[in-house]
Amino acid sequence: MGRVGELARLTDALARPPAVLLVEGEAGSGKSRLVAEAVRALDERSGNGTTGNGTPTPPGDTAPRRPVLLGRCHPLREPEPFGPVVDALRDAAALLPPPAELPPSTGALRLVLPDLAAQLPAAPPDGGTLLSARRLLAQGVRALLTALDAPVLVVEDLQWADDATLDLLVRLARDLPPRLALVVTYRPEDLPPGAPAPGAAFRPAPARTGGHGAGAGHGAVGAPVRLERLEPLDEREVAALARSVLGPAATPELARVLYERSQGLPLAVEEDLRTLTERSPATRTPADRIGAERTGGSGGSSTSGASSTAGGRTATGDLAAVLAAAEVPRGLRDAVTERLARLGADGAAVVAAAAVLGVPADEALLTAVAGLDAEAGADGLTEALHAAVLRETAPDRYAFRSPSARQVAQGQVAGPRRRVLHRRAVAALGTREPRPLARIAEHTLAMGDRPAWQDLAQAAADQAAALGDPGGARRMLRGLLDEPDLDPRRRGRAALALARLAADDVDPAASVQVLSGMVADPRLPVADRGEIRLALGFLMAVHSGNRAGFDRIRESLEELEERPVRAARAMVAIAMDERDGAGRRSGEWLARAEGLLAANPDEDVSAAVRATTLTFQARSADPAVWDRLDELPRDSERPEVMRQTTRALYNTGEIAIELGYDRRSANLLEESRRLARLTGIPYLECYSRLALIRLDMLAGRWDLVEPRFARLGAEFDDLAMAGAERSLLFGRLAAGRGRLALAREEFEIAARFGQRESQVTVALRAAAGLGGLQLLEGDTAGAAGTVGPALATARQADAWARTAELLPVAVEALLATGGRAEAGEVTEEATESLTDRGAPAVTASLHLARGLLLDADGDPEAAEAFTRARDHWQDIGRPYEAARADERIAAALAARDRVRAAERMAAAERVYLELGATTDTARCRKLRRDLDLGGIGSPGRRGYGKRLSPRERQVAELLAQGTGNQDIAQALFLSPRTVEHHVANVLAKLGTGRAGTAQALALADAEDAAGEGGE
């Protein structure tokens, strides 16, 4: 994972000896693994399944076809001269020709290779000097390697090589045997201070042009030299590695935790993944999955893929908890400990200071906390940077490479010493202006001075709120309220302050827990308890998607009698509930709020009334809402007024997607995103960006969905709507790409959220997704059972304007189960409810629904209804929906207008291919064959040799995603036996097992691309 390009280049260079290959990377970056994989790939390219002597390779055996001689340098006080080269040559006994066929110079190796003495010629005279002995030895090594059959000499960990070994390898590289590939690995951070990188020695001047692409040069005798630097994996690559091991359980949230702990170091990621598979039943996989990471096999999903436990995201949370409680990965811990051990006193002092400070710090602060003078501090910091313990994160800001590295270093600072460092940190930070009270409070608490910390925490919260950092203020207040011996008056003041800051909380779970405990405190004044209960209800209903929060808000009304403005705000919130008939009373609640405001004017709550009214207008598809949005204030100095403007823009923009005003929606959501960022409302920024990602998918930009979700997840990971929207979109992606089991899981997660959410939109969309999947799988009864309750929900909430996704699925499911009359009634009811309303998407869906009804009756007008649906979808800008309508048109016209039917089917198929909609493409092609509509430019059957055919390519891509045979059969509309045949061909052509399909496919693509570039 993450090394496809490097692997292809390295394999290519090994196949073209002579070559010198330098592989550079920090400990745990995968240097040895990369070299082993390159040798294995070289064997498959040249021998593909046979050992060096021509016998079949047993399953799992990676015996090389070309001789590979491996030697390692070791961090010894007095390393043995020539040690790694001698170790490598010792394994050459079975490869040597008879002594008479060896050059006389190989006799010089008798002294260092006593076990091979009988297979070597007599030793030549040494000349009597150390210099001449080294020269003879170098000549003997070169002669011996020349006599072997195209060997690969690998020397690992060159940073620990002695001078004699370095001299020998440089001499060898400058006069390389014609069929030898010399591979050297090393850690740049462990080179001796001031030592140049090995590449300088291996690239003698003058250089000549040529080589094997970027990074290649030629030595004086023409041997190409390639340097491959292995950088840490990025977050996307860590996520891919996690998916290959954990399957669907590897959500972006979990991948982000993996990345943060490892900072992309492959060894650390691998060890964390092993921890997860060992400790969590949710990710239990075959034993060889993680083991393959060590032995050269690629981690990958099993036939069925790893599945999360019931509850979906809950299982992911459990995995994250397992990881949070786990120790630092051993490989990373050992690497950090090794680097720390080589630091001098000043370097160790600076690193200890950095460990205690915990955040990027400047040189002056590190020096002060370390207790050093300026010169010693600079020297210590330089040493820590050279040893790759610390890194410069910004100009004059230094920190550890990863949180895990800091954890290791902090563990090596004894308790008494840590307290001294914390005391110095308090003193040093106290001299800065403005005083960073939150950081001072943190160090004060670490010293054990809890009374002083309580004073500082309250002051730090006030400072953070005044500086426009409500998140920091909330964190300090939550910490303060966790204190068991906090003074009751301070506790009440802190709880009320937290409640007033809770509206924009991006970590609602933490605040919900704290506020839930506070509302039970009888010592609180009644009105304060009401405000806290109101804030708790907001967090539950708005952020956590739990409509039980509305019960808390209703309970707060009685406690807020003496604070009518806050009571009015509670009424506005209650009006937003549209479940169980509550939506019918929304107007009453708004009227009551306006009555209270008439007697107690308040600009902030009036802004909330205005935003909620606009939301209701958009929900009902009232065309007048769009002009009223222009009246919203965009430049108020009141933060709450701006928050309500941003909320109104987001709500109406998100509803506009349901209505089918995609271009208008994009403008509203971009504005709400911008205002949310400017005014510091992170949850509204998150929701706006979520809706914009949905617009990307609807517009056919499927390839943008996953990376944009990953970036968003790195910033916002605790908002319920983010998880629900992710499941809805990823479910659609998975269904389109043939991963039907994953699609079902995602839709079921979204459906569970929809059941407890106060708004009905998610429930309607989840039912549409799950019902459509059930129809695809042939479970018509299940589909009818899914859409029935959703239709009842839409009817009860008068939400027909938001049923664009649901209506066609519902009508198709009802028709398939004999419910022709009910399907007609639903279509008519939705049509009547939208009279004088503006909802282009539902209009398109109704045309499609009418087409389905007409088609079921055998009416030729069905094609015209489908055509109207297609035209509407094209006007809206949704290519996938337009293609589905084109497919319907083709089927309806096939019996009476074959030319037009073939055109429409070809148009649909082209869109599916562009989108990467594997399942839809396969269904379209099957339907085209069934209706005998011909192909779309098919060149006829051809032979593909060792390359994958288009069908095999589809199968390979599904295998790479962990899709099982049954799902592949359903996705591609093939029989299980045909799928088994294709799977066998794919694995044979790629030379791998199911678990290695993803990596083998990526490598094959890289080789194909390199071949095309060469042509």
Distance from C-alpha of 244 to C-alpha of 286, rounded to nearest angstrom? 13
Strand 216-218 versus strand 68-72 pairing type: unpaired
Provide the 8-state DSSP code for 917. -
DSSP code string of 728-764: HHHHHHHHHTT-HHHHHHHHHHHHHHHHH-SSSHHHH
Nearest to 797 by CA among 838, 754, 836, 828: 754
Helix axes 780-796 and 761-776, enclosed angle (nearest 10):
160
Distance from C-alpha of 867 to C-alpha of 887, rounded to nearest angstrom? 10
Structure tokens at 21: 């290959």
Say how many Å lie between the first and final Cα of the chain, rounded.
27
Alpha-carbon torsion, ordered 114, 117, 122, 128, to 10 deg: -10
* Residue 992 backbone dihedrals phi, psi, to 5 degrees: -150, 175
Handedness of CA 490, 493, 496, 501 (dihedral sign): negative
Distance from C-alpha of 695 to C-alpha of 657, rounded to nearest angstrom? 8
| 8 A C-beta contact, residue 806 and residue 787 | yes
In this predicted structure, what is the pLDDT of residue 560?
A: 93
Task: Characterize 542-571 residue by residue with b for buried, 16 or more Cβ atoms within 10 angstroms of its Cβ, and e for exposed.
Answer: bbbbbbebbebbbbbbebbeebbbbbbbbb
- Contacting residues for 444 by C-beta, under 8 A, at least 6 apart: 422, 426, 452, 453, 456
Nearest to 418 by CA among 362, 357, 333: 357
Structure tokens at 622: 């009232």
The number of residues making up the chain comes to 1015
Helix count and strand count (H, E) for the chain: 47, 8
The pTM of the whole model exceeds 0.75: no
In this predicted structure, what is the pLDDT of residue 222?
A: 52
* Residue 50 backbone dihedrals phi, psi, to 5 degrees: -130, 155
Distance from C-alpha of 209 to C-alpha of 207, rounded to nearest angstrom? 7
* Residue 72 backbone dihedrals phi, psi, to 5 degrees: -125, 140
Mean pLDDT, 10 residues at a time, the chain of 1015 residues: 85 88 88 90 60 37 68 80 86 83 87 86 68 78 85 90 85 85 88 66 50 38 76 86 79 80 84 77 39 32 30 48 74 82 93 94 95 95 90 90 85 92 95 91 91 90 83 86 82 83 68 82 86 88 79 92 93 89 85 94 94 94 94 91 95 96 96 92 90 96 88 69 85 89 91 88 96 93 96 93 96 95 96 91 96 94 96 96 96 92 93 89 89 62 63 78 76 75 75 72 62 45
Structure tokens at 652: 């109406």
Distance from C-alpha of 898 to C-alpha of 986, rounded to nearest angstrom? 36
In this predicted structure, what is the pLDDT of residue 205?
A: 44
Q: How far is CA 824 from CA 193, 790, 793, 835, in A?
A: 81, 16, 18, 17
Distance from C-alpha of 725 to C-alpha of 762, rounded to nearest angstrom? 8
- Contacting residues for 388 by C-beta, under 8 A, at least 6 apart: 26, 189, 339, 401
Residue 713, CB half-sphere, CA atoms under 13 Å: how many?
22
Task: Characterize 377-409 residue by residue with b for buried, 16 or more Cβ atoms within 10 angstroms of its Cβ, and e for exposed.
Answer: bbebbbbbbbbbbbbeeeeeebbbbbebbbbbb
In this predicted structure, what is the pLDDT of residue 56?
A: 36
